[in-house]
Amino acid sequence: MNNIAYNIRYILFFLLVFSACKHSESEYHNITDKIEAESKRYHGTSISSESLLEEIHTLQITEGEHTFLIPERKGQIRSYACTECHSIPLSELQKEGDVKKAHWDIKLVHADVNTMNCITCHNGNAMDDLQSLTGNSIDFNRSDKLCSQCHTRQFEDWKGGAHGKKVAGWAPPRASMTCVNCHNPHNPGFKSRWPSRYNTQKVKERE
């Protein structure tokens, strides 16, 4: 009897050793597996960006398989609608002579003179809209369509969310800033400047 009891004890012991609990290891081999498995059970969350977007006027756009919000633009342009001044074609307006100068300080630093000038994007005869390379009119709210004519790669990344920033918050609904929210269309490059912080303590520690 004793022998059997001992045997059982040993068997139990080995069972225990080989089936020991994995204490802190998760049930997934890696994070990719975890994401894949757990997102199958995903049914949305209670967290939403809606309250953060309340004060911001946005409009919904659909580009390919992506549907998301972008900030409205016309309301942000100080002197829109343009036709309030541009009531006659630009050539005639310039002939008039003694007129108030407006946006005279705009200097185009975007591509080079062979590629771009004002009328690549603006239509002197219909100032309230932008125009595509083929002369189709593009709404000021959708200036991204203008940029995407050349910057196709950036446009793809922007649609997916790899290029650009969110308006507010990570949670759905997705609201992404549009091109002109970060880039000045007349001078779109980022400038070199001094870093906004320098750690003097770290310098001391390293001396």
Partner 1 sequence: MSEQNNKRWFSLNLGKAKKQEFYSCSCGKTAGSCGSHEEAKDGFDQVFDVKMNRRTAFKQLTASLMIGAGAVSTSCSMIAGNDRKEKAQIDWEEQFKGNYKLMTVEEKKATVDRLVRSYQLRKGKTISMSSKDAEEGVLFGYAFNISKCQGYMDCVNACVEENNQDRNSQMQYIRIHEMKDGKGFNFNEADDNYYHEVPAEGHFYMGTQCFHCDNPPCVEVCPVQATWREEDGLVVVDYDWCVGCRYCMAACPYDGRRFNWSTPEVPEEEVNKDQHYLGNRMRKKGVMEKCTFCVQRSRAGKNPACVDACPTGARIFGNLLDPNSTIRWVLENKKVFRLKEDLGTEPKFWYFMD
Residues facing 166 on adjacent strands? 176
Beta-bridge mates of residue 39 = none
Nearest to 189 by CA among 197, 176, 199, 179: 179
Q: Which of 4, 43, 96, 103 binds partner 1 (CB under 8 A)?
A: 43
Q: From the CB of residue 204, how many other CB atoms can be counted at a distance below 10 Å?
A: 8
Q: Is 13 in the site for partner 1 (CB under 8 A)?
A: yes
Nearer to partner 1, 89 or 172 (CB): 172
Per CB under 8 A, 196 contacts partner 1: yes
Beta bridge partners, 67, equal 62
Q: How far is the CB of 68 from partner 1 (least distance, A)?
A: 9
Site track 142-181 with partner 1 (rule: CB under 8 A), x = hit: -----------x---x--xxxxxxx-xxxxx-x-xx----
Q: Is 135 left (phi over 0), alpha (psi -120 to 50) or beta?
A: left
Contact, 118 vs 131, CB < 8 A? no
Q: Interface residues with partner 1 (CB under 8 A)?
A: 9, 12-13, 16-17, 20-26, 30-31, 34-35, 38-39, 41-49, 51-52, 153, 157, 160-166, 168-172, 174, 176-177, 182, 190, 192-203, 206
